[in-house]
Structure formats: C-alpha cells, structure tokens
Amino acid sequence: DIQMTQSPSTLSASVGDRVTITCRASQSFSTWLAWYQQKPGKVPNLLIYKTSTLESGVPSRFSGSGSGTEFTLTISNLQPDDFATYYCQQYHSYPLTFGGGTKVEIK
C-alpha cells in the first residue's frame, strides 16, 4: 500500500498569506494525485487532480505540483473561505489512500 503523509498537520495563517501543504508518498509515482478541501460537517470538494490540473470552478489561487514522492498544494493570497482541512489522495494503485489531512487555521 502507498502511505501518504501530509505536513504540517495544522497550519496557522492570515488572510493574504501564501501557504504550502506537502504530501509525501511511501513509493514513487508520477502524476496520479488529487487534492480535496473539506470544511467542518461538509463533504470533501475536489480541488486538483493529476497533480496540477484545477477542477472546473476552483479559484486559480490554488495550484499543485510535484512528482515522485513529494507533492505540494499551494494557496496564494489566502481567503477567508479557504480556512478548512485539505487532503491529498493517490490513485496510482489500489488501495486508494489519503493523507492524514492539513487543517488551515486563522492566525
């Protein structure tokens, strides 16, 4: 199984900041990685797939990059609506696995 480790687990930031979340994989793979945003009591929402492709309707301040064992989600110009928990998910192989999540809090 591919283990996905996210860091940090919690991140404190201010509106307007640029934040980066890292997802490290226990095995190398190319591009089959997605990112989701989840707000408390809500359903996860797809942000990015194939490492860097923005889902339709997702603001361009979200971006993704990486390959191999290290992938990143960057939010530039953090907005009040962005305070949430973010998860990475690999779909290179089964079982599909998620990172443990990164909670972005207001500083």
Partner 1 sequence: QVQLVQSGAEVEKPGASVKVSCKASGYSFTDYGVHWVRQAPGQGLEWMGWINPGNVNTKYSQNFQGRVTISSDTSATTAYMELSSLTSEDTAVYFCARSRPDRGWIYFDCWGQGTQVTVSS
Determine if the peptide bond prior to 40 is cis (ω within 30°).
no
Judged by CB, which is closer to partner 1: 56, or 60?
56
Report if residue 29 touches partner 1, rule: CB under 8 A. no
Report if residue 71 touches partner 1, rule: CB under 8 A. no
Give the tokens for residue 32. Answer: 């089959």
Cα–Cα nearest to 20, from 64, 79, 80? 64
Alpha-carbon distances of 13 from 17, 20, 48, 71, rounded to whole Å: 6, 11, 21, 20
- CB 58 → partner 1: shortest distance, Å? 11
Rule CB under 8 A: choose which of 5, 22, 55, 83 binds partner 1.
55
What is the pattern of x (binds partner 1, CB under 8 A) and - over residues 33-52?
Answer: -x-x------xxxx--xx--
Residues forming the site for partner 1 (CB under 8 A):
1, 32, 34, 36, 43-46, 49-50, 55, 87, 89, 91, 94-101
